[in-house]
Structure 1
């Protein structure tokens, strides 16, 4: 599930890099920041070392290979996937990263609200850094459809199920599924936060 989340976010970074006509180096940087940005910020705030991406070199190598072959990969995948499929993979990544960030913060003995915010940061901050690198106002600030709110609610569900001592696998699946479904529903029905 972790690999799926990293792949989904790296892929969205590569798509943004392609839109900006970046070369392989730029594509790698944008994909790397998108995939690991939120977790790195979380690790800095929790004083966790080594960083996640330093420990797991295989994921970095995979993103490196993706960046080199991005023009060919995106040419093929753009025929196979539409915008809906990318929305789903992004929502899956949001759910998995948010829940894992909350879990890591709980392991670090953080209080409930702080753990929830660490989950939200883990889930959304990679996209913020991607947009900043690509010289855009971050999507989370310009799109009023709930994104961080879905992650926030899902993290609280994770905490509630943890308190009820639900098995970890079921807890992760249920919390992630909530974030995924909530994000897709808000997108499908164009539910927006008030301005």
Structure 2
């Protein structure tokens, strides 16, 4: 893998973990969970999709095992998250949760696709692997919080945005477009597509 792409993916993973962890913290606070419960929800949200990806790609050790610093950081923050979120309750609204979730969706979907292509998976399968990486963290979060997963209860495009963005990345990779820019373009596409479809209330047919 190109060194610049490796660096870009590492940065993306860090931002994606933060974005998904924030959405996990917000959901945990809404359910009045204790610090350990908050940590479990945040960790499942941040690492659930990547863990499913690693299982399917037979990649060991898992990402969160290799990067335990992230796990330790989430564990420590979980003890202060309720107080921090309460102090900034006016900032952490449904809109913030939506944006955090959209950022995580874009970052994890594209990074998952890139890793799948690096593992020599066919393009379509790699795109589906990216979608799996992007959506399963949120699915696990919602299940742990006793909610129907967002992907199932919201008819606005969610996994569809991720899938189209992942296909865009596969296409850019196929034409040998610069890998770093391909990652950024596909990620921004997913992020903007998710926010625009939500803002305009675009819904898929039932």
Same fold (TM over 0.5): yes
1:139-187 deviation digits (Å, cap 9, x = unpaired): 1001101000000000000001111111111111100010011001100
Of the three residues 136, 150, 153, the one matched with 1:142 is 153
Q: What's the secondary structure of 1:145's corresponding residue?
A: coil
1:8-44 deviation digits (Å, cap 9, x = unpaired): 1011011111111110111000000000000000110
Query: In the alignment, which residue of structure 2 is the partner of 1:31?
Result: 42
Aligned length: 195
Unaligned runs of 5+ in 2: 1-11
Q: Does 1:98 align with 2:85?
A: no
Of the three residues 75, 79, 90, the one matched with 1:68 is 79
Q: Does 1:125 align with 2:164?
A: no
Please list, as runs of the form range in 1=range in 2, the aligned pairs for 1:1-195 lying within 5 A after superposition: 1-195=12-206
Unaligned runs of 5+ in 1: none
1:105-164 deviation digits (Å, cap 9, x = unpaired): 111111111111110000000111111111111110011010000000000000011111
Q: What's the secondary structure of 2:107's corresponding residue?
A: helix
Q: Do 2:173 and 2:182's aligned partners in 1 also have CA atoms closer than 8 Å?
A: yes
Could you state the TM-score of these two structures normalised by the residue count of structure 1?
Answer: 0.96
Bigger drift between 32-41 and 164-173 goes to: 164-173
Q: CA RMSD in A?
A: 1.1
How far, CA to CA, are the matches of 1:189 and 1:109 in structure 2?
A: 38
Bigger drift between 70-79 and 12-21 goes to: 70-79
How far, CA to CA, are the matches of 2:167 and 2:58 in structure 1?
A: 23
How far, CA to CA, are the matches of 2:34 and 2:183 in structure 1?
A: 37
Query: In the alignment, which residue of structure 1 is the partner of 2:3?
Result: none
Q: CA deviation at 1:83?
A: 3.0
Bigger drift between 27-36 and 67-76 goes to: 67-76
How far, CA to CA, are the matches of 1:49 and 1:68 in structure 2?
A: 30
